[in-house]
Structure 1
Amino acid sequence: MDKNFSTRSMIFTIYGDYIRHYGNVIWIGSLIKLLEAFGHNEQAVRAAVSRMSKQGWLKSEKRGNKSYYFLTEQGVARMKEASKRIYKEPTPPWEGKWWILVYTIPEEKRHLRDKLREELVWSGFGLLSNSCWITPNDLEDEMTRMIKKYEIEDYVSYFQATYKGMQTNEELVKKCWDLDEINERYAQFIEQYSQKYVIDKSKINKNEISDSSCFVKSAWLVHQYRKFLFIDPSLPDELLPEKWLGDSATSLFKDYNNILSKPAKRFFESIFELGELIEQ
């Protein structure tokens, strides 16, 4: 198993693809059981859940002597944003406007500056110049959420503008993002998963693969594809190069995930419902 396939990352995946669609709350015993399928033990799950709670992603509640965990408002917002980008919801044509965010966070709040940079990159912003970030996407809600989260209202300003410089919008994109590198990563994803998709599709059609294996494969696929959220700014089609592989990678991901989803969902529900029965 990939050493980067951490317990915390797996919990995010399960909440994003399953738990939030089942009332957003799960008994810790069910979560432990689900993570066993990936080789994560109880101690690792409890430690990861504790860290995620301290970081503001999860909250817990007691029902009798059992602990249940659910996504916080911050966690739900992040999952919705991630899902929108992972499953590529249709977007309207680009209107040629750029969002610009600038900040002057003082040195004594440097830790907040570092966290804000991480979130800006994750959301798809590109660094145009020192402390000046841009995106062609309407991320006003995301910007507002970040600013409130870190309580930096006094240090951040953002605008919407039209680029009137001497270069083209495409040349502006090249300054902020390395699309060639991202395209190469998409090519690697396609090469790695095309054959696996064909093999697993055949196995599923012949009932030669278990529900639990499909659950693991589906979560692993989402985990790998989700890495593109940290490097692909999800630019409008008008700003992408002619030979862009992102769409092909997305189609492969969706097709592969679709064949895994039904048996994977059956496995999740069997564990989730077991937890509900134990509660009663």
Structure 2
Amino acid sequence: MIFTLFGDYIRYYGNEIWVGSLIKLLEPFDHNEQSIRSAVSRMSKQGWVVSRKEANKSYYSLTERGKKRMEEAAGRIYRMEPAEWDGKWRTLLYTIPEERRHIRDELRKELIWSGFGLLSNGVWITPNPLKEQIYDIIDKYDIKEDVYFFEAKNKGFQANKQIIRSCWDIDHINMLYEKFIHAYEEKMIANAMKIERGDMSDQDCFVERTLLVHYYRKSLFVDPGIPKELLPEKWLGERAAKLFNEYYQILAKKANAFFRAIYLAGYDNCPRQKQTIAKEE
């Protein structure tokens, strides 16, 4: 949820927030102060955020690593349609020894998040051009000596669409999109009418939009972003993306107003910072 707030709001407001404002923003979701402070502390230890002190206040901002992850996530969340395929497969193999098993486990998580699929033991593939992400991961874990990375074309006996089905559960991903559409299609129409009548507050819209992003992201990060040439005929990803973006915009004005009011209150004694934020807006 904190990642959602950073990606959807905070990074557009100077990339920094007072922890007290963060607590206030998460109150409508029934998150208590202690759990929020613990979560922010974990994010700091993991290298996603960094803190600074001003008087007796703690402010948190994304690290460079955090910013990069947010940009990657935003590229996937707000993508309207699948990319075109260049016909190449990217293959990554690694031979990380048992004594560095913890790195191997972390590497698997990073590869899945980035959109790689497991073809066989220690062999990961993707049809997407993820060279930059791979180089970042290799540098992060210092595993240049343990990794092989290739770009190639399929000259074998399995069709490209069959390779996709061997590495990803396409039917499950499509089912997740179907569930998202079922959950939000009628809800969007009903709440659009409520907003028009003035029956949804700024806070209501903020909560709804944050939960919308949170829900959609869960489906999306199971989806590796397969190019359109490799997708099945009855693919629901584009329909889900269109629904998400339309509902997101319907909620935007009032949701942003709620966030802005709480966010700026965290800088009440910092007029210079408020001026900086105003310029960035």
TM band (smaller chain):
over 0.9
2:262 matched to 1:271? yes
Q: Which residue of 1 aligns with 2:43?
A: 52
Listed as ranges, the gaps of 5+ residues in structure 2 are 272-281
Match of 1:234 among 222, 225, 241: 225
Match of 1:245 among 230, 236, 242: 236
Cα offset, 1:276, TM superposition = 1.4
Could you tell me how far apart the structure 1 residues matched to 2:6 and 2:65 are? 13
Could you tell me how far apart the structure 1 residues matched to 2:236 and 2:80 are? 17
Q: Deviations along 1:165-216, whole A, 9 cap, x unmatched?
A: 1121111111111111111111111111111111111101111100011001
Residue pairs, 1:152-163, within 5 angstroms: 152-163=143-154
Cα offset, 1:221, TM superposition = 0.5
**8 Å Cα contact 2:116-2:224 kept in structure 1:** yes
Q: Which amino acid aligns with 1:235?
A: I
SS of residue in 1 equivalent to 2:3: helix
**8 Å Cα contact 2:116-2:125 kept in structure 1:** yes
Q: Deviations along 1:51-85, whole A, 9 cap, x unmatched?
A: 11111111101122211101111111111100000
Q: Which amino acid aligns with 1:162?
A: K
SS of residue in 1 equivalent to 2:267: helix
**8 Å Cα contact 1:82-1:229 kept in structure 2:** no
Match of 1:183 among 148, 156, 174: 174
Q: State the identity as a percent.
A: 56
Q: Which amino acid aligns with 1:98?
A: W
Q: Which residue of 2 aligns with 1:110?
A: 101
Match of 1:262 among 253, 270, 273: 253
**8 Å Cα contact 2:206-2:256 kept in structure 1:** yes
Q: Deviations along 1:229-278, whole A, 9 cap, x unmatched?
A: 33111100000000001111111111111101111001100011111114
SS of residue in 1 equivalent to 2:150: strand
Q: Which residue of 2 aligns with 1:85?
A: 76
**8 Å Cα contact 1:122-1:229 kept in structure 2:** no
Cα offset, 1:228, TM superposition = 2.1
**8 Å Cα contact 2:83-2:226 kept in structure 1:** no
Could you tell me how far apart the structure 1 residues matched to 2:214 and 2:104 are? 27
Q: When the two structures are aligned, how many residues end up with a matched partner?
A: 271
Match of 2:110 among 100, 106, 119: 119
Q: 1:105 to 1:132 in 2, by over 3 A?
A: same
Q: Which has the higher contact order (CA 8 A, sep 6+)?
A: 2
Match of 2:3 among 12, 20, 26: 12
Q: Which amino acid aligns with 1:275?
A: G
Could you tell me how far apart the structure 2 residues matched to 1:262 and 1:141 are? 35
TM-score, length basis structure 2: 0.93
**8 Å Cα contact 1:112-1:150 kept in structure 2:** yes
Could you tell me how far apart the structure 2 residues matched to 1:196 and 1:65 are? 43
Q: Which residue of 1 aligns with 2:276?
A: none
